[in-house]
């Protein structure tokens, strides 16, 4: 059975969280880093914008006033407000058995996420078809075939980038959602705010209780081990990854408090 590295981090600022993910991807691409599942949280509510997303999609004045960080992701997609959640990132590649290309890799990686939800008793499935208003910069107002849904409601989304034969995918396990805050961050009108409330679900919505400490992390580990037939072994960043993280933070910070 192959082994992958497992990193479980405490809360950090948005730019550092994104810089760590980028450093792990770079190390894997160079052949110096192992396939890695990383689980982490955020030291304050933070918006991550997609790699090419316009910063004007976010109300920066509101974010400054309310202590909300803003950072840039190395992956694409629309903006996500990270708050009460567990975030995962996985870096793996063709040499680790990951199918080459976006469609195939999303399928197998999202199956591992679905297994994690099933560990929690949540019957998550891949979203059947894209939907959502084109004009909004908020990720959770949109559903794609790479998302996980509970019935017709979106549970979580993921974003991905490939660098040669190495892939980074990350996304959120949302525990609770502050609809009002999210609507203000992305300047959602009344109809869009109503749609966000009606078409999304959280873990607490689905389970009617908050997972105990460590339960969510254990579910994600079990899901990945089962789908990829691997053993996850606890590890840390290498010195090269730590150095690359430090060098990347300034590039990814748009407004960290």
Measured CA to CA, the distance from residue 188 to residue 200 in angstroms comes to 15
Residue 55 has pLDDT above 60, yes or no: yes
Q: In the prediction, which pLDDT does 157 show? A: 86
pLDDT of 28: 98
Q: What confidence score (pLDDT) does residue 31 get?
A: 96
Active-site option among 63, 71, 110, 139: 139
How many other C-beta atoms can be found within 10 angstroms of the C-beta atom of residue 74?
23
Burial profile 222-249: b = 16 or more Cβ within 10 angstroms, e = fewer: bbbbebbebebeeeebbeebeebbeebb
Share of the chain above pLDDT 90, in %: 77
139 is catalytic: yes
Lowest mean pLDDT across 23-27, 71-75, 101-105, 182-186: 101-105
Q: What is the pLDDT of residues 57-100, one digit of tens each?
A: 999 999 999 999 999 999 998 899 999 999 999 999 999 999 99
Q: Which domains does the chain carry?
A: 2-255 (3.30.930.10)
Structure confidence at residue 256 as a pLDDT band (50, 70, 90): low
Buried b (16+ CB within 10 A) or exposed e, 109-144: bbbbbbbbbbbbebebbbbeeeebeeebbbbbbbbb
Say how far apart CA 155 and CA 164 lie, in whole Å: 30
List, for residues 107-166, the tens digit of each pLDDT value: 999 999 999 999 999 999 887 655 545 555 555 554 566 688 888 889 888 999 999 999
**What are the E-state strand segments in 146-211?**
148-150, 153-156, 158-163, 166-174
CA distances from 81 to 34, 106, 107, 176 (A): 29, 22, 24, 12
- Confidence at residue 126, expressed as pLDDT on a 0 to 100 scale: 82
The single residue listed with the structure tokens 């950072």 is 71
Quickly count: other Cβ atoms within 10 Å of residue 54's Cβ: 10
pTM to 2 decimal places: 0.91
Other beta carbons within 10 angstroms of residue 196's beta carbon come to 20
Angstrom distance (rounded) from CA 212 to CA 98: 32
Strands 158-163 and 166-174: antiparallel
pLDDT exceeds cutoff 90 at 214: yes
DSSP-derived secondary structure letter, 98: P
CA–CA separation, 101 vs 146, rounded Å?
13
């Amino acid at each position: 059975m192959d082994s992958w590295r497992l990193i479980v981090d405490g809360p950090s600022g948005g730019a550092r969280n994104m810089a760590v993910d980028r450093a792990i991807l770079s190390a894997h691409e160079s052949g110096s880093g192992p396939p890695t599942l990383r689980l982490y949280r955020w030291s304050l509510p933070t918006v991550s914008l997609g790699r090419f997303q316009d910063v004007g999609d976010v109300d920066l004045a509101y974010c400054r006033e309310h202590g909300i960080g803003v950072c840039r992701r190395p992956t694409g997609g629309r903006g996500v407000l990270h708050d009460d959640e567990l975030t995962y990132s996985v870096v793996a590649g063709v040499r680790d058995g990951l199918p080459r290309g976006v469609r195939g890799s999303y399928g197998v990686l999202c199956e591992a996420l679905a297994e994690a939800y099933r560990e929690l008793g949540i019957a998550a499935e891949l979203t059947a078809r894209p939907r959502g208003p084109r004009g909004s910069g908020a990720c959770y107002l949109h559903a794609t075939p790479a998302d996980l849904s509970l019935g017709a409601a979106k549970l979580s989304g993921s974003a991905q980038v490939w660098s040669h034969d190495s892939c980074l995918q990350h996304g959120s396990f949302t525990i609770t959602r502050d609809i009002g805050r999210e609507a203000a961050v992305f300047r959602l009108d009344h109809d869009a705010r109503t749609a966000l409330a009606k078409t999304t679900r959280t873990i607490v919505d689905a389970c009617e209780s908050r997972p105990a400490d460590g339960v969510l992390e254990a579910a994600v580990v079990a899901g990945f081990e089962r789908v990829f037939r691997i053993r996850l072994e606890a590890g840390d960043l290498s010195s090269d990854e730590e150095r690359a993280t430090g060098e990347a933070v300034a590039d990814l910070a748009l407004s960290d408090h």
